[in-house]
Structure formats: C-alpha cells, structure tokens
Amino acid sequence: MNIIINGQKLEFKKEMSIKMFLDTKNISPESVVVELNQSIIPSENYHTTWLTSNDKLEILRFVGGG
C-alpha cells in the first residue's frame, strides 16, 4: 500500500488507521492536525479512519513560540 505523507511517498505492508500510523511515528494525536485527501479529519475519528493505497496524508504540528 502506497501513501503520500507530507509529500513523500511511503510504502506500507499492512492497512492501518490514522491513529495506528501516528503511534508508529510516536506522534501525539493532540499535537497535530491531520488532513486526508484534502479533508481535515477530527481527532476523535483517527482510530476509525483507515488509510488506503494512494491516499494523501498531511500532518501539521502545533508549534509554540513568541
């Protein structure tokens, strides 16, 4: 399964939800906004939204500063 994540094409051997993907990258769901195929996915749906081949995933991190 090929997925484009933040512009980079990656290959995965098994299907996974957005939550599972974030867990594999040690990304806290509370610290990001996820866009899947140009639609923002609410964080409460990360565990029920499954990635499929050729999906385009954008992960935006919150950054604090002044």
Indicate the helix (H) or strand (E) that contains 32. Answer: strand 32-36
pLDDT score for 28:
93
pLDDT score for 65:
72
pLDDT score for 62:
78
| pLDDT values of the chain reduced to their tens digit, one per residue, 66 residues | 999 999 999 999 989 999 999 999 999 999 999 999 999 999 999 999 999 999 999 999 877 776
Q: How many CB atoms lie within 10 A of CB 62?
A: 9
pLDDT score for 60:
95
Could you give all domains of the chain from N- to C-terminal order, each with its CATH number?
2-61 (3.10.20.30)
The three-class DSSP label of residue 24 is: helix
pLDDT score for 34:
98
